[in-house]
Structure 1
Amino acid sequence: MHIHNFSKENSILNTFISEIRDVNIQKDRMRFRRNIERIGEVLGYEMSKELNYKPKKITTPLGIHNTSVFNDDIVLCSILRAGVPLHNGLLNYFDTAENAFISAYRHHKDTPEIFEIIVEYLACPDLSNKTLILADPMLATGQSMLATFKALKPFGSPKAIHLVSVIGAQKGLDFVTNEFPEDTHLWIATVDETLNNKGYIVPGLGDAGDLSFGEKLQK
């Protein structure tokens, strides 16, 4: 897997990440969602450098300009509900992309430490020979990302796969590296070292879905 970890260099991402982590600033849900969206825009820009391009002639009022435009058919898939702000940020840059949505959540069995990923809803176009972008803001254990990828397989085989996350744990990175095709790209703003016994990233930021949209009722 090709891992693009942007915490290794200083950029405006530092500011956005620090604000979504801050327990005081993150109380403002609109600001939290907007920061996730802006992180998606930055990661989308960086990812665009790895896409395929074709030459194109542009007619201006004064002449012809030769340029290159990206030439990939993109399907952008996000995991509900936490993935929506990240999805929007990517869609701001890849506005012609087709879209897919999937609900994948943790179902805890007997103890908080043991869970399985349940997929209940999926809407997806044909993926055959397209560029698939999987967006999930938190890459903790990596199981949600893998469950999503497996659920999408009946829709065709993409020609390229890109994973996009805001914060990950090293364990999650190792997991997706082993489970996804070797030529997959992972674009991630920052990586934390550990998970707690419930599988949440530490120091992380908390529950991205709750911080974006309010606390949910537990099943």
Structure 2
Amino acid sequence: MKTINLSEQNTVLNRFVSELRDVEIQKDSMRFRRNIERIGEIMAYEISKTLNYFPLETVTPLGTSVTNVPSDPIVIGTILRAGLVYHHGFLNCFDQAENAFVSAYRKYRENHQSFHVHIEYIASPRIEDKILILTDPMLATGGSMDLSYQALLTKGQPKHIHIATIIASRQAIGYCEQNFPKDRTTIWAAAIDPELNEYAYIIPGLGDAGDLAYGEKE
């Protein structure tokens, strides 16, 4: 299994991540959402370099041109709700991809410090022998990602899994490395942070991505 930390590269992606973390810039929810979308577009471009390609002949007004284009069928699978705008960034790049959505959320116990992840529903095409890109802006423990993947397996076995996140904890990276197929999984992160707090939020992280994108929930 390969883990790619894009923050180790000098790229404009780092500026968008920095703005997502900034407590002042976070007050502009439209800019927050757009930065998530931009990161999705850039990460999709990076993933596109790993796909299989075939030569496509195109007729122009003056002749013909041959261009290598992706041949792999792609399904973009996203965990609701902060993942919606992130998903849109990937779809801007992979505009012919199929789409899957998973409702997964933390169900806190009475002490509000422990929780279990609850899967409510999935909406997905068949994923058999396709490239599955699982997107979630924040990869804190890895539990939601794993359970979402297990739910999607009811639609078939993907050819390859790309786990795409903006900020991951080292704990979540380790969890995914242990629980996803090692020979068919690649993890992509725009940044990897060192730890989780007692509420399983990533430190330094950026806060609650869903609330910052769409407003606070009860």
Normalised to the residue count of structure 2, the TM-score between the two structures is 0.98
SS in 2 for 1:87: helix
Match of 1:140 in 2: 140
Match of 1:62 in 2: 62
Instruction: Output the CA distance in 1 between the equivalents of 2:158 and 2:9.
Output: 31
| Root mean square deviation, CA, Å | 0.8
Deviation at 1:160, TM superposition (A): 1.0
- Runs of 4+ with deviation above 6 angstroms: none
Deviation at 1:4, TM superposition (A): 1.2
What CA deviation, in whole Å up to 9, does each residue of 1:18-61 have, x standing for no partner?
A: 11101110111100000000000010000000011111111111
Match of 1:46 in 2: 46
Instruction: Output the CA distance in 2 between the equivalents of 1:18 and 1:159.
Output: 34
**Aligned pair count?**
217
SS in 2 for 1:16: helix
Match of 2:195 in 1: 194
What CA deviation, in whole Å up to 9, does each residue of 1:69-102 have, x standing for no partner?
A: 0001111111110101110000000000111111
Deviation at 1:10, TM superposition (A): 1.6
Instruction: Output the CA distance in 2 between the equivalents of 1:131 and 1:6.
Output: 21
Q: Which amino acid aligns with 1:191?
A: I
Match of 1:118 in 2: 118
SS in 1 for 2:102: strand
Instruction: Output the CA distance in 2 between the equivalents of 1:72 and 1:109.
Output: 42
Deviation at 1:109, TM superposition (A): 1.4
Instruction: Output the CA distance in 2 between the equivalents of 1:145 and 1:173.
Output: 11
Q: Answer with 45-54 or 56-65: which moved more.
A: 56-65
- Segments of structure 1 that go 5 or more residues without pairing to the other structure are none
Deviation at 1:63, TM superposition (A): 1.2
Deviation at 1:135, TM superposition (A): 0.4
What CA deviation, in whole Å up to 9, does each residue of 1:117-175 have, x standing for no partner?
A: 00112100111111111000001100010010011111111111111100011000000
Instruction: Output the CA distance in 2 between the equivalents of 1:24 and 1:193.
Output: 23
Residue 188 of structure 2 corresponds to residue 213 of structure 1: no
Structural mapping, 1:93-108, within 5 Å:
93-108=93-108
